[in-house]
Structure 1
Amino acid sequence: MSILDATLAAGRREAEARMRDTVRLYTQGEDVFDRESGQTAPGPQSTLYQGPARIKGVAQSSGEDTQAGERELVLREYEVAVPWATTLPQGARLLPGARIEVLSSLDPRMAGLVLWVTGAKFADQATAWRISVEDRS
């Protein structure tokens, strides 16, 4: 093992030690309208990853106001780091629009938060897999 490989392995262990939140990364299918009840039900979900993560706000986040229908939203940017060796199910790709639900966190205000994936960063010399997300609440 080279010095670089040993350093990366140590860095990845340290990065994982800081992952104190638990998240579920999933895709959401199209909503389904039930003609009998007149209600729209959420489409099926497909879990891509569930496990430890570290969630942190992006320092230069603009907190941009935007309009969605008749409701005003503030978009806040975050970065979610999951273990570098995380793999997705066969044939799955992480695309914008996937969601990350915070299942548990030492910050009780985070539990239940749903974040929307806007992009992902890939690098062979990274200590974690970093996913760009936004809070659309």
Structure 2
Amino acid sequence: MTTLDTVLTAGRAAAEARMRDTVRLYSQAPDSFNRSTGTTAPGAQTTLYSGKARVKAIAAATGRETEAGEREIVLREYEVHLPWSTVLPGAGRVLPGMRVEVTASPDARMVGLILWVTGATFSDQSTAWRIRTEDRS
């Protein structure tokens, strides 16, 4: 094991120790509209990961106002850190449009927060797997 490997192992353990939130990363099929009842049913969800994480608001991102449909919304950016060793089923890639739900957190105000994935970074020298997300509420 090289010196770099030793440092990375220690860094990954330290990063994982800071993961005090619990999240569920999932994909969701498109919603379906029932013409006879006039209702929309949410698409099926597929859980890709459930476990510890660190959900961190991006300080430089104060939120930008945008319009969705006919409603004003504020997009706030978050970075979700998963353990570096996390392996996802199937292709193993996080794609924009997937979602992260905060299921438990020391900050009770975050529980139930749904974040939309906008991108992810990959690196063999990272201490955690970082996923860029936004809160669209």
Asked if these proteins are the same fold (TM beyond 0.5), I'd say yes
Alpha-carbon distance in 1 for matches of 2:126, 2:91: 23
| Superposition deviation, residue 27 in structure 1 | 0.5
Counterpart in the other structure of 1:46 = 46
Residue type at the aligned position of 1:13: A
| Superposition deviation, residue 93 in structure 1 | 2.4
Number of residue pairs matched? 137
SS of the equivalent of 1:109 reads helix
1:113-124 equivalences under 5 Å are 113-124=113-124
Residue type at the aligned position of 2:106: L
- TM-score, L = length of structure 1: 0.96
Alpha-carbon distance in 1 for matches of 2:107, 2:131: 20
My pick for the range that moved more, 83-92 or 126-135, is 83-92
Runs of 4+ in 1 over 3 A off after TM superposition: none
Deviations 1:88-123 (A, max 9, x none): 102242111000000000001000000000000101
1:1-137 equivalences under 5 Å are 1-137=1-137
Alpha-carbon distance in 1 for matches of 2:92, 2:45: 13
Instruction: Specify every segment of 5 or more residues in structure 2 that has no aligned partner in the other structure, as ranges.
Output: none
| Superposition deviation, residue 30 in structure 1 | 0.6
Instruction: Specify every segment of 5 or more residues in structure 1 that has no aligned partner in the other structure, as ranges.
Output: none
| Superposition deviation, residue 37 in structure 1 | 2.3
Question: Structure 2 vs 1, CA of residues 36 and 92 (structure 1 numbering), >3 Å: closer, same or farther?
Answer: farther
Residue type at the aligned position of 2:46: S
